[in-house]
Amino acid sequence: MKKSILLLVFGLFILGFSAGNAGAIDALPQGQATMEQCMSHAVNRFPGEVLIVEFLTSEGAPIYEFEVKMKDGTVWNVECNGLTGYIIDFSRHVSVNDPLFKLKAKISQKEAEEIALSFLPGKVDRREVYIEDDGKPMYEFDIYASHGGEFKVEVEADTGTIDVVEPEYWEIGEFSN
């Protein structure tokens, strides 16, 4: 666990000083909670290995999103508000064949992707399927937009409604099953 945290912190250090990114990093919204504080809250609530850390904004507020793999293999998305340090949202990764997901989903992942790309044209970099803490089934797509930048687009699997479109500024780590 400490090794994962140290590698992520080192990665952020390198990212912050890499050519071309230094100005972009300085221009990001600044929070009062550090990534390390948010990560600590995330792993205290969902003990496990941090696979990915993302930094994005939601309605102008800085958000750290962690993908945490627990000992039982369950992977959780955990969002922490960068202003307050509080966990504000969490969801459980599932497959499209998960019984609860299948029961509630009314559209396919392909249909959800078409909805996301019709709203935000570009190239899908990553696809996720999960169930929110309130039981809502969701599809998430990381899209490199045609006009530039990377965005997280969430589509409700039960309605086909776009729920979230948020810019992602950086991502560290790699998802592995």
pLDDT score of 171 more than 80? yes
The domain limits of the chain are 2-173
Structure tokens given for 119: 């709203």
Q: What is the CATH number of domain 2-173?
A: 3.10.450.40
23 has a pLDDT exceeding 50: no
The model's pLDDT over 45-83, given as tens digits with 9 standing for 90+, comes to 999 999 999 999 998 899 999 999 999 999 999 999 999
- Count of CB atoms situated within 10 Å of the CB of 123: 11
Q: What is the mean pLDDT of residues 92-108?
A: 98
CB 176 within 8 A of CB 51: yes
Average pLDDT of the chain, as a whole number: 86
pLDDT exceeding 90 applies to what percent of the chain?
79
Residue 13: its pLDDT value, please? 34
Q: DSSP characters for 22-89?
A: HHHHHHSPP-SS-HHHHHHHHHHHS-EEEEEEEEEEETTEEEEEEEEEETTS-EEEEEEETTT--EEE
31 confidence band (pLDDT: 50, 70, 90): low
Condensed to tens digits (0 to 9), the pLDDT of residues 147-160 reads 999 999 999 999 99
What's the pLDDT at 32? 86
- Give yes or no for a contact between 94 and 130, defined as CB atoms under 8 angstroms apart: yes
Both tokens of 79, joined, read 């969002």
Q: Assess contact for 56 and 44: CB atoms under 8 A.
A: no
* Res 174: pLDDT: 82
* pTM more than 0.85: no
